[in-house]
């Protein structure tokens, strides 16, 4: 198994401190702050520890409150808000230094049959023949600021194969839509809760950047501040993250220093398995005047 994927799976194995209190390690992906997907994935994993294995998450809603410190573990406090016959709800608070860095609510459901419909998957090229994002990063690593080089050098736990040219390689304004194929580097166990936690982790990659597409922003020449404010994820149907998934993203609006992006996740058969929405800070970094 690839070391990057193994590291993330280990991150999702939380230490139990009490019936409703868990501790998770932090992981450096090339930034001084904890990756938001890590906190969301671990918070979901904490909530999963307090429901039955037969119940799987159907939605989660999270607010990022403070940046996390990669040098410190994270404490997760879970509150059982409701346990019904079909649905269960959990509230999770992620803590560092005694202060909350994320609030998350997750709802779980026992599987049942019902009416079904979905939108059609986009007609885009498949993953075969597309270049992985890591290779694209290496092609420009010598052109970016040193701070960004660490981020580009990070080995992701998933393969990412973008259909369109990434923004950092083409800063021109374009339609705020993008598509990329993703899958875990190796075959995983048949554990629906693990696949859901990993999808929660990986869904924070690439999404917010969609809101930058209609703007003339050169990530190599000028730093753009992007930071998640909230994250919502709905699980519609069973899936596996070790099989190719198409992440179809769009951004209907940006305003007030915030970008809003949506994502739909399809398997290779065109089945819609999950939907995502996120809003985040989006502002070009302004150099401070010389204090002297």
- Catalytic positions: 204, 228, 278
∠ at Cα 102 (253, 6), nearest 5°? 95
All residues at 6 or more sequence positions from 143 whose CB lies less than 8 Å from its CB, including other chains: 220
Q: Cβ neighbours of residue 74 under 8 Å, at least 6 residues apart?
A: 23, 24, 25, 26, 34, 39, 42, 68, 94, 95, 96, 101
**C-alpha torsion angle, residues 70, 72, 73, 77 (rounded to 10):** -100
Report which of 273, 244, 249 is spatially closest to residue 261, judged by C-alpha positions: 249
The two three-digit tokens of residue 72, written as one number: 């410190």
Residue 40 tokens, joined: 């969301």
Establish how many alpha carbons lie within 13 A of residue 34's alpha carbon, considering only the half-sphere containing its beta carbon.
30
| CA–CA dist 173, 211 (Å, integer) | 11
Largest CA distance in the chain: 68
């Amino acid at each position: 198994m690839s070391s990057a994927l193994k590291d993330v799976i280990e991150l999702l194995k939380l230490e139990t401190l009490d019936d409703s209190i868990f501790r998770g390690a932090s992981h450096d992906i090339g930034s001084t702050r904890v990756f938001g997907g890590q906190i969301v994935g671990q918070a979901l994993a904490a909530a999963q520890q307090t429901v039955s294995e037969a119940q799987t998450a159907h939605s989660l809603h999270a607010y990022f409150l403070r940046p996390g410190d990669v040098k410190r573990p994270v404490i997760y406090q879970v509150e059982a808000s409701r346990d019904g016959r079909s649905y269960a709800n959990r509230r999770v608070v992620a803590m560092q230094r005694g202060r909350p860095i994320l609030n998350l609510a997750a709802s779980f459901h026992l599987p049942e049959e019902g009416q079904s419909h979905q939108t059609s998957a986009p007609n885009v090229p498949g993953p075969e023949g597309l270049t992985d994002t890591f290779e694209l990063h290496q092609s420009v690593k010598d052109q970016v600021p040193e701070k960004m080089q660490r981020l580009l050098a990070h080995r992701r736990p998933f393969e990412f194969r973008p259909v369109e040219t990434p923004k950092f390689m083409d800063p021109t304004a374009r339609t705020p839509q993008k598509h990329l194929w993703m899958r875990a580097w190796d075959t995983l166990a048949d554990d629906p809760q693990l696949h859901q936690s990993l999808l929660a982790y990986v869904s924070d990659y690439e999404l917010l950047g969609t809101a930058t597409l209609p703007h003339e922003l050169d990530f190599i020449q000028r730093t753009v501040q992007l930071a998640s404010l909230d994250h919502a994820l709905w699980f519609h149907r069973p899936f596996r993250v070790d099989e190719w998934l198409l992440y179809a993203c769009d951004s209907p609006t940006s305003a007030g220093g915030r970008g809003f992006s949506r994502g739909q996740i399809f398997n290779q058969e065109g089945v819609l398995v999950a939907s995502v929405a996120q809003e985040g800070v989006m502002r070009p970094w302004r150099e401070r005047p010389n204090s002297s």
